[in-house]
């Protein structure tokens, strides 16, 4: 037997649950690893139980194969499921940052302070985002809003976590949701009390400990009756990450007349031009409109990752509840995206809107996959879907897979789909007015995405526009 195998197996035999001092779990996944993670995080018993149930269920599941993407099988025993947040190397000045990354920062118009924060350059205490975050937090606390890391929530608000964890995305939901439930390292928790209108956009950026949430992130957001919150996930700056597999879970719960607006900009490393490297982003996001006339709006701008597999959906349980999905998914080079939404109508007079804008360039492949399901008792449910694809060049692909299940004859369902190409004529028209080809493409693409960008908070929308331009750079010769 190979000496290396011997050593690793020996280690395994002894177990490491007792070895709580170690910084990282050994490679691979087992019941012991799950216990190790829970112990490391000092979790209460209910969390460990939850994780173990999820793990045991995961063992019975298989990797889904139905998506329209290709990737080599992932060896789940070759992943390290827990490692203590490693302090990133602190740089002395921005001069030490990778010039290519800096150039992208510049193009996105990211401020110097923000550039420093993102690339871990030491900053003055005054400018440190943590102090900004602290001020924000105390302001939120006055209103009774809880906004903290998932680990903190487990410690400080175990009742809330216990009550809602896994109620929207149960670990039985799918392979990656089960995996996440077993091993998730951290994430965000947010609770908006009854009748409170959250006065600012909640952004993970302002959450302490936002860094190092790792590859299995978990978000739980609860909006009590009559409350409102707008939540921003991600940032437009390019995120380089060593972890190839990301399997996050996001659960949203809206009570009577509550409104949750959840916006994402995802710009993870897509791999190089030839498709080497890059992140696999397999996310389960779902919102439950539990109360009457509640509303959940998903808005996403996806430009990163080598493979994206993501279907933010809404369960419209409360009568008169509303689900919305606005999405821009851009793929370039060798990226693959299979994304869309699920709208499950259960309550009466429920309404859903789906606006999906796919943009494919290079040799990429972009699929929309959406399910609209109208249950038996969902009288007068209404859905409108519009799925547009924009192709740049002739080596890319776009597909639309709309699924429709209607079990109530009073439902109104409308679906529109278009596929278009950025025309030479449009570009020439812009050129003739003095606009360069690159700017012309930016204009045309932004025009195409307008309905989605309009849903984003103003600042985010401006950043998203720039991001699209950067992501498409050089895609038209």
Give the nearest distance from C-beta 424 to other proteins in angstroms: 8
Calculate the CA dihedral of residues 34, 40, 45, 51 and round it to 10 degrees. -30
Stretch that binds other proteins, among 229-237, 372-380, 408-416, 423-431 (CB under 8 A): 423-431
Q: Which stretch binds other proteins (CB under 8 A): 61-69, 161-169, 395-403, 436-444?
A: 436-444
C-beta of residue 187 within 8 angstroms of C-beta of residue 217: yes
Please tell me whether residue 425 binds other proteins under the rule CB under 8 A.
yes
**With CB under 8 A as the contact rule, which of the stretches 86-94, 312-320, 434-442, 456-464 interacts with other proteins?**
434-442
Min separation Cβ 106 and other proteins, Å: 18
Q: Work out whether 476 is an interface residue with other proteins (CB under 8 A).
A: no
Q: Which of 88, 107, 240, 450 binds other proteins (CB under 8 A)?
A: 450
Residue with Cβ nearer other proteins (343 or 392): 392
- Residue 435 near other proteins by CB under 8 A: yes
When binding is defined by CB under 8 A, the residue of 252, 444, 467, 469 that contacts other proteins is 444
Query: Is residue 428 close enough to count as binding other proteins by CB under 8 A?
Result: yes
- Please state the three-class secondary structure of the chain as a single string: CCHHHHHHHHHHHHCCCCCCCCCECCCCCCHHHHHHHHHHCCCCHHHHHHHHHHHHHHHCCCCCCCCCCCCCCCCHHHCCCCECCCCCCCECCHHHCCHHHHHHHHHHCCCHHHHHHHCCECCCCCCCHHHHHHHHHHHHHHCCCEEEEHHHHHHHCHHHHHHHCCCCCCCCCCHHHHHHHHHCCEEEEEEECCCCECCCCEEHHHCCCCCCCCCCEEEEEEECCCCEEEEEECCCCCECCCCCEECCEEEEEECCCCEEEEEEEECECCCCCCCCCCCEEEEEEEEEECCCCCEEEEEEEECCCCEEEECCEEEECCCCCEEEEEEEEEECCCCEEEEEEEEEECCCCCEEEEEEEEEECCCCEEEEEEEEEECCCCCCCEEEEEEEEEECCCCCEEEEEEEEEECCCCCEEEEEEEEEECCHHHHHHHHHCCCCHHHHHHHHHHHHCHHHHCCCCHHHHHHHHHHHHHHHCCCCC
> Nearer to other proteins by C-beta: 46 or 428?
428
Q: How far is the CB of 40 from other proteins (least distance, A)?
A: 49
| Residue of 211, 431, 457, 466 interacting with other proteins (CB under 8 A) | 431
| 93 contributes a contact to other proteins by CB under 8 A | no
Q: For the CB of residue 428, give the shortest distance to other proteins in the complex, in Å.
A: 6
Closest separation in Å from C-beta 378 to other proteins: 33
Is the CB of 166 or the CB of 442 nearer to other proteins? 442
Burial class (CB in 10 A: 0-12, 13-18, 19+), 395: exposed
Interhelix angle 437-448/424-432, rounded to 10 degrees, is: 120
Which residue intervals of 311-436 are DSSP H helices? 424-432
Q: Does the footprint of other proteins cover residue 477 (CB under 8 A)?
A: no
- Between strands 322-331 and 307-310, the pairing is unpaired
Instruction: Specify the residue, 284 or 471, whose C-beta has the smaller distance to other proteins.
Output: 471
Q: Does 432 bind other proteins (CB under 8 A)?
A: yes
Closest CB 468 distance from other proteins, rounded Å: 13
**Least distance in angstroms from the C-beta of 467 to other proteins:** 17
Residue 447 binds other proteins, judged by CB under 8 A: yes
- For residue 131, state whether it binds other proteins (rule: CB under 8 A): no
Among 34, 354, 378, 430, contact with other proteins (rule: CB under 8 A): 430
Closer Cβ to other proteins, 378 or 444, answer by number: 444
88 binds other proteins (CB under 8 A): no
Q: Which of 25, 108, 178, 449 binds other proteins (CB under 8 A)?
A: 449
Binding pattern for the stretch 383-422 against other proteins, x by CB under 8 A and - elsewhere: ----------------------------------------
Tell me: does residue 439 bind other proteins (CB under 8 A): yes
Q: DSSP letter at 268?
A: B
- Pick the stretch among 219-227, 307-315, 396-404, 448-456 that binds other proteins (CB under 8 A): 448-456
Number of residues that bind other proteins (CB under 8 A): 22
By CB under 8 A, the residues from 295 to 354 that bind other proteins are: none
In whole angstroms, the minimum distance from the beta carbon of 434 to other proteins comes to: 4
Is 433 a residue that touches other proteins (CB under 8 A)?
yes
**Distance of alpha carbon 115 from alpha carbon 95, whole angstroms:** 11
Q: Footprint of other proteins on this chain (CB under 8 A)?
A: 423, 425-426, 428-437, 439, 443-444, 446-451
């Amino acid at each position: 037997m190979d000496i290396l195998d011997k050593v690793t197996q020996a280690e395994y035999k002894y177990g490491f649950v007792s070895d709580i001092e170690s910084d990282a779990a050994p490679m691979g996944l087992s019941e012991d690893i799950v216990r190790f993670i829970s112990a490391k995080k000092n979790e209460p018993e209910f969390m460990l139980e939850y994780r173990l149930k999820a793990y045991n269920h995961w063992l019975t599941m298989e990797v889904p194969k139905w998506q329209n993407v290709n990737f080599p099988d992932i060896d789940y025993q070759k992943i390290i499921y827990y490692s203590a947040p490693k302090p990133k190397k602190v740089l002395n000045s921005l001069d030490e940052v990778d010039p290519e990354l800096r150039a992208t920062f510049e193009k996105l118009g990211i401020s110097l302070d923000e550039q420093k924060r993102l690339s871990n350059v030491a900053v003055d205490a005054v400018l440190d985002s943590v102090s900004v975050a602290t001020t924000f937090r105390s302001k939120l606390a006055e209103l009774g809003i809880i906004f903290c890391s998932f680990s903190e929530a487990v410690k400080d608000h175990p009742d809330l976590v216990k009550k809602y964890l896994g109620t929207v995305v149960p670990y039985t939901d799918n392979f990656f949701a089960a995996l996440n439930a077993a091993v998730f390292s951290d994430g965000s928790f947010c609770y908006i009390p009854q009748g409170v209108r959250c006065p600012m956009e909640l952004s993970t950026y302002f959450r302490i400990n936002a860094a190092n949430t790792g590859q299995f992130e978990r978000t739980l957001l609860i909006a009590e009756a009559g409350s409102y919150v707008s939540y921003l996930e991600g940032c437009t700056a390019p995120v380089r990450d060593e972890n190839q597999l990301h399997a996050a879970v996001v659960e949203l719960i809206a009570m009577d007349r509550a409104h949750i607006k959840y916006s994402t900009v995802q710009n993870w490393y897509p791999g190089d031009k030839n498709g080497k490297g890059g992140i696999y982003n397999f996310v389960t996001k779902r919102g439950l409109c539990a109360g009457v006339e509640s509303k959940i709006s998903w808005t996403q701008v996806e430009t990163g990752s080598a493979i994206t597999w993501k279907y933010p959906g809404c369960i419209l349980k409360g009568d008169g509840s509303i689900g919305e999905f606005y999405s821009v998914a851009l793929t370039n080079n060798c990226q693959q995206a299979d994304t869309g939404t699920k709208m499950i109508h259960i309550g009466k007079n429920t309404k859903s809107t789906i606006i999906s804008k796919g943009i494919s360039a290079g040799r990429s492949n972009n699929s929309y996959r959406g399910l609209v399901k109208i249950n038996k008792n969902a009288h007068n449910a209404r859905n409108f879907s519009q799925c547009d694809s924009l192709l740049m060049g002739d080596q890319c692909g776009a597909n639309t897979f709309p699924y429709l299940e209607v079990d109530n004859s009073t439902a109104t369902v409308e679906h529109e789909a278009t596929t278009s190409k950025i025309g030479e004529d449009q570009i020439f028209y812009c050129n003739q007015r003095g606009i360069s080809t690159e700017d012309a493409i930016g204009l045309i693409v932004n025009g195409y995405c307008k309905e989605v960008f309009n849903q984003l908070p103003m600042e985010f929308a401006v950043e998203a526009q720039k991001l699209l331009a950067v992501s498409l750079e050089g895609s038209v010769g």
